[in-house]
A and B are shown apart, each in its own frame.
Chain A
Amino acid sequence: MQLRLRKHWSRLACAAAVVGAMGAGAPQALADVIKIGAPLALTGGLADEGKKQKIAYDMWLERVNAAGGIKVGDTMMPVELVVYDYQTDGKRAGQLTEKLITSDKVNFITAPFGSGHTKIAAGVAERYGVPIMASVASSESVYDQGFQNLFGTLAPNTGLTDNMLKLFKAKMPDTKTVAVLGREDVFPNAMAKALVEGAPNFGYSVVYDQRYSVGTLDHSATLSAIKAANADWIYVTGYTQDLILLRKQMADLGLTAKIVTMITGPAYKEFVDALGPLADGVNSASWWHHATTYQSSDVFGSTKAFYDAFVAREGSDPDYVHASSAAALVALQAAIENAGSIDPDKVRAALRDVSITTFYGPIDFGANGMNGGRDLPIIQVQDGTVVVLFPEAIKQAELKAF
Chain B
Amino acid sequence: MSAFIGGKNLGLTIVLGVVAVLIALPFIGDNYLVRLATFLCLFSALALGWNFIGGYAGYPSFATAAFYGLGAYVGALLQNAGTPMPLAWLGAGLGCAIFAAALGPTLLRLKGHYFAVGSIAIVEIMRLLASIFADFTGGGMGLNVPILRGGPDFAGMVFLYAMLAVAAAAFLTTLAVDRGRLGFGLRCIQQNEDAANMLGVDVNAYKTAAFVLSAIFCGLAGAIYASWVAYIDPTDVFSILLTLKVPVMVLLGGAGGAYGPLVGVVAFMAMEELIWSNFLELHHGVLGVIIVILVFFLPGGLLKLRWPQILGRFRAGGDAKSEAKAAAE
* A interface, CB within 8 angstroms of B: 1-2, 4-5, 8, 24, 42-43, 85, 87, 89-91, 94-95, 98-99, 101-103, 116, 119-120, 123, 126-128, 139, 141, 144-145, 183-186, 188-190, 211, 213-214
Q: Is the CB of B308 closer than 8 A to any CB of chain A?
A: yes
A119 lies within 8 A of B6 (CB): no
Chain A neighbourhood of B139, CB < 8 A: 184, 189, 211
Known A95-B39, A126-B147: A116·B31 in contact at CB below 8 Å = no
B142 lies within 8 A of A186 (CB): yes
Chain B neighbourhood of A85, CB < 8 A: 280
A-B contacts, CB under 8 A, total: 97
B35 lies within 8 A of A213 (CB): no
- Closest residue to A215 on the B side, CB-wise? B235
* B interface, CB within 8 angstroms of A: 6, 10, 30-32, 35-36, 39, 127-128, 131-132, 134, 139-142, 144, 147, 151-152, 155, 229-231, 233-236, 241, 280-281, 283, 308, 311
CA distance A352 to B201 in the complex (A): 68
In the assembled complex, the CB of B101 is this many whole angstroms from the nearest CB of chain A, namely: 28
CA distance A298 to B10 in the complex (A): 64
In the assembled complex, the CB of A104 is this many whole angstroms from the nearest CB of chain B, namely: 9
A116 lies within 8 A of B280 (CB): no
In the assembled complex, the CB of A333 is this many whole angstroms from the nearest CB of chain B, namely: 26
B311 lies within 8 A of A95 (CB): no
| Most chain B CB within a 10 A radius of its CB, from A119, A127, A139 | A127
Known A91-B236, A213-B128, A214-B235: A123·B230 in contact at CB below 8 Å = yes
B140 lies within 8 A of A98 (CB): no
In the assembled complex, the CB of A239 is this many whole angstroms from the nearest CB of chain B, namely: 12
CA distance A111 to B123 in the complex (A): 29
In the assembled complex, the CB of B209 is this many whole angstroms from the nearest CB of chain A, namely: 30
- Closest residue to B138 on the A side, CB-wise? A141
CA distance A89 to B151 in the complex (A): 25
Chain B neighbourhood of A102, CB < 8 A: 30-32
Chain A neighbourhood of B308, CB < 8 A: 1
B35 lies within 8 A of A189 (CB): no
**Chain A to chain B: the 9 pairs with minimum beta-carbon distance, closest first:** A184-B140, A185-B140, A90-B236, A127-B152, A102-B31, A123-B230, A184-B131, A102-B32, A99-B32
In the assembled complex, the CB of B157 is this many whole angstroms from the nearest CB of chain A, namely: 12
B32 lies within 8 A of A116 (CB): no
Known A91-B236, A214-B235: A127·B280 in contact at CB below 8 Å = no
B281 lies within 8 A of A43 (CB): yes
- Closest residue to A47 on the B side, CB-wise? B281
Chain B neighbourhood of A2, CB < 8 A: 6, 10
A120 lies within 8 A of B229 (CB): yes
- Closest residue to A9 on the B side, CB-wise? B14
Chain B neighbourhood of A126, CB < 8 A: 147
Q: List 10 A-B contacts (CB under 8 A).
A: A1-B6, A2-B10, A90-B229, A119-B231, A127-B155, A145-B231, A184-B139, A184-B140, A213-B127, A213-B131
- Closest residue to B42 on the A side, CB-wise? A91
Chain B neighbourhood of A188, CB < 8 A: 140
Q: When the two chains form the complex, which single residue of A1, A4, A119 contacts B142, counting CB atoms closer than 8 Å?
A: A119
CA distance A85 to B128 in the complex (A): 28
| Most chain B CB within a 10 A radius of its CB, from A8, A102, A183 | A102
Known A1-B6, A116-B142, A186-B233: A103·B30 in contact at CB below 8 Å = yes
Chain B neighbourhood of A42, CB < 8 A: 280
CA distance A87 to B245 in the complex (A): 15
- Closest residue to A119 on the B side, CB-wise? B231
In the assembled complex, the CB of B185 is this many whole angstroms from the nearest CB of chain A, namely: 34
A213 lies within 8 A of B283 (CB): no
Known A102-B30, A120-B229: A139·B35 in contact at CB below 8 Å = no
Known A186-B141, A214-B140: A87·B283 in contact at CB below 8 Å = yes
CA distance A94 to B231 in the complex (A): 11
CA distance A94 to B39 in the complex (A): 12
In the assembled complex, the CB of B181 is this many whole angstroms from the nearest CB of chain A, namely: 33
CA distance A189 to B152 in the complex (A): 32
A123 lies within 8 A of B131 (CB): no
Q: When the two chains form the complex, which single residue of B141, B155, B281, B283 contacts A190, counting CB atoms closer than 8 Å?
A: B141
In the assembled complex, the CB of B38 is this many whole angstroms from the nearest CB of chain A, namely: 9
Chain B neighbourhood of A5, CB < 8 A: 6
A94 lies within 8 A of B229 (CB): yes
